[in-house]
A and B are shown apart, each in its own frame.
Chain A
Amino acid sequence: MEGSSAEAALSVSANSIRITDVTQDGDVLTFAIASQKLNSSAGVCVFRMYEDFDWLQQSLFSEENLPGLQGIIFPPLPSKALPSQSNTQTKALKQLGFLALGQDWQSYCKALEFYLQQVAAHPTLCKCKALDSFLINSESPGKQRGRKGIFNRLSQAVEEMRKESHKDVDNFFQNERNKNTNLAASSKVATEKLLDVVMTEQKLAVACGHFATSLHLCVNQDDAAAVAFSKVCLKLSDVIEAVKRNYEKVASNNLSTLGLGLDLESRYQESEKEMLFRRTCKLIELETVRKGTEKAKANKREVMEAFQKAVEKEFNLISSVAKQEIERFHSSRVKVLKTFLIGWCELQLNTAKEFAELYSQHLEACRNMYSE
């Protein structure tokens, strides 16, 4: 990939890319993206909408002069968020999963941020001009209707399904395809189940809130007995409020670490699946061409053979790029999951300690009050 001299290297540091703010105007979300210039201490800030991200992704897909492009595992771009009022939460959840949760689009912004960081960290993709201009140009590039990428999402046509299960010529790739099929399915299910857990935790928190409020309504100062009872009700109300905050925290911890992590993993597995599918399609094309060449009449044969050689070259290039991508993907995803798992565990541990302390204090206070 070093031969692509037309593309300049990225002028900002990949790690410094942040989405610092998001504003909503009716249906449209605008993201503020900040990054740090490599050669100076200067920072850059630009404003982009989802169309711009889409433009970037399409530009990456249609990058010319990148041999073996089809072998690249492209960082997955989250779906477009549709924040309009008519969009119910169920629709949003179906569309975005975890990224629909969290306040003020925080999870969604985080996911977009990951996307940019991963593109910028990719040894090949970071050189694309589109990325640099996306991150630096004050004018948003989305207005230019770029060439539509040659890659479409994996269609569900029966035809495609058949191709997907086409036997491979290379054991390494056959194994990888099998593993990927399992992992993609398992991580998708795990993400959905965790999402269910988080939704229930949030519902539980809301129910606690209602109960705590209802307890407040039992306050009555008519006489000494009523006052004593009211105090007890208020105490219980405080305890239930604490339980509510507990569950809110637990849910938010789940969301911001493991939830995001599983969501990312799941989408990345899909992206790898698409890459492997592209290669399989190329393989099928090659095999088809070979058969055609064998059957070709003498006058056509030379042309066919030349064509076959070209396809072979393409296929081999894709395979070698894919191999590198797969290895890179394996090591990076383990690191990423590790970070998320540690973060998740630490957050939940801290929350558990915090609330163990709080409940203990309440218990102590009750014991002191009630022993008199």
Chain B
Amino acid sequence: MSEERGSSAQTEEDEDLFVSAMESPEAARLSAGDLSPSSNGPRDDDPDDLFAEATEEVSLDSPERQPILSDGPSPAITPVSISPRVDVFDRSPDLDEEEEENRDTFDIQISVSDPEKVGDGMNAFMIYKVTTKTSLSIFSRDEVCVKRRFSDFLGLHSKLASKYMHMGFIVPPAPEKSIVGMTKVKVGKEDLSSVEFVEKRRSALERYLLRTVKHPALLKDPDVLQFLESSELPRAVSTQALSGAGILRMVNKAADAVNKMTIKMNESDAWFEEKQQQFENLDVQLRKLHVSVESLVCHRKELSVNTALFAKSAAMLGNSEDHTALSRALSQLAEVEEKIEQLHQEQANADFYLISELLGDYVRLITAVRGVFDQRMKAWGKWQDAQLMLQRKREAEAKLQYASKPEKLQQARDEIREWEGKVQQGERDFEQISRNIRREVGQFEKERVKDFRVVIMKYLESLVHSQQQLIKYWEAFLPEAKAIA
């Protein structure tokens, strides 16, 4: 495919750009030897510290990763994938445009459909069909259908968040759990509210997947590919990890860690401070907007109900009426009002699914964004801690110089080297996460504008459609009214 050829030509350029972007000569010494692959998947051993080892990031394997990193300067933090696909892990700003282009010619469609209830009573759950249609070659087929349950989605998100969030990647949050909504469905209430709940959830799961695959790194992630393609998926356990509430907890934990830092972060880069403030403000504004639009949806639904009641009363009036033409006109009036009720219902759905859910999604996304900023602070803290430790080790070594304990001295010197390495790693990590965040935020802001524009257009389309229907109804009614003799 031409896409591949183009990209592989660029990949070579990537490596050159890396060379020129290298910060310090020490980095060159960190060869492939230091890079130990560790397991893919959620770090269950230490879920709290997402910073287990500095080399952790390297294990984010794209299957095509090759150990070319031993030659010359290479970034130890993230792998350069020489796969023919777009490389995403560390790019200098120039390459962002290409990435963006590739996002635009993005050729993958995902739909979540056919919710089906499996089982009975409190053990019941819903199964959703996930269909992926794509021409991208990382997928083994053009079209794949799999069946997934809600906890599978949460499990996917949990894995992605623990792999990528500490690198500064904005991982789209999974839809919220709902005990009340789900209980109704389990208990078997076939009423309107449980139907609406399932539809709301189906739509949310679809949007979640679409947002996830829009991110080039996540699209290539093997967990994502496995989720979309393989017919069997290991049951996700401990899915309370990273629901929206889970992310909030993680954010709070990171915030706590930040607060416990002995040295307040010296923000050398004003960009981060400004952006953080912007996102805090945006969070408040979006929440307000969300409340506003929920009120709108509520009133629209009320209007639908009242219109139906009026239609019924008009029908009764028509029945009581003796005068034939007037009676007929009143019955037609009742029919028109019934049709209008239907329009109100459709419009309420548009209000909700387009605007309200969009705002809700972005409130949750902003939480993820703020989490990523806190991860950066945590990275800074870790770097600082390493520096402190190095200093102590040096002081200890200095003391041992005059103590004639050769083994202890050697040990101290070893430890110094170890901590020097950690300091360098800490600094690189910090700078890496800072770079990633800048890029991620830039992309996020572009996507945000796109998302909102799409919604506005869809909303306007629904408004135009409603009005055109209304015109039809009124034009049909007018002769009935005029026919009253």
**Chain A residues packing against B (C-beta within 8 Å):** 179, 182-183, 185-187, 189-190, 192-194, 196-197, 200-201, 203-204, 207-208, 210-211, 214-215, 217-218, 220, 222-223, 225-226, 228-229, 232-233, 235-236, 239, 243, 330, 334, 337-338, 341-342, 344-346, 348-349, 352-353, 355-356, 359-360, 362-363, 366-367, 370
Contact = CB atoms under 8 A, between A and B. Distances in A.
A342 to B, nearest CB: 5
Given A214-B289, A222-B278, A232-B452, A196 B309 contact: yes
A211 B474 contact: no
Given A197-B307, A225-B446, A229-B445, A204 B296 contact: yes
Nearest to B317: A186
Contacts of B68: none
Contacts of B274: 222-223
Contacts of B210: none
B467 interface: yes
A352 B463 contact: no
Nearest to A230: B449
A216 to B, nearest CB: 10
Interface string B453-468: 1001101110110011
B460 A190 contact: no
B481 A341 contact: yes
A304 to B, nearest CB: 41
B470 interface: yes
> Contact size class for B?
35 or more
A258 to B, nearest CB: 8
Contacts of A344: 481
Contacts of B296: 204, 207-208, 211
A348 B307 CA distance: 15
Interface of B: 274, 278, 281-282, 285-286, 288-289, 292-293, 295-296, 299-300, 302-303, 306-307, 309-310, 312-314, 316-317, 319-323, 325-326, 329, 333, 355, 442, 445-446, 448-449, 452-453, 456-457, 459-461, 463-464, 467-468, 470-471, 474-475, 477-478, 481-482, 484
Contacts of A235: 456
Contacts of B464: 356, 359-360, 363
B226 to A, nearest CB: 34
Contacts of B302: 200, 203
Contact of A232 (B295, B322, B453, B484): B453
Given A232-B452, A348-B474, A355-B467, 19 more contacts: A190-B316, A194-B310, A196-B310, A197-B303, A197-B307, A200-B299, A207-B292, A225-B446, A236-B355, A239-B459, A338-B326, A338-B482, A342-B482, A345-B477, A346-B478, A349-B478, A363-B464, A366-B457, A370-B453
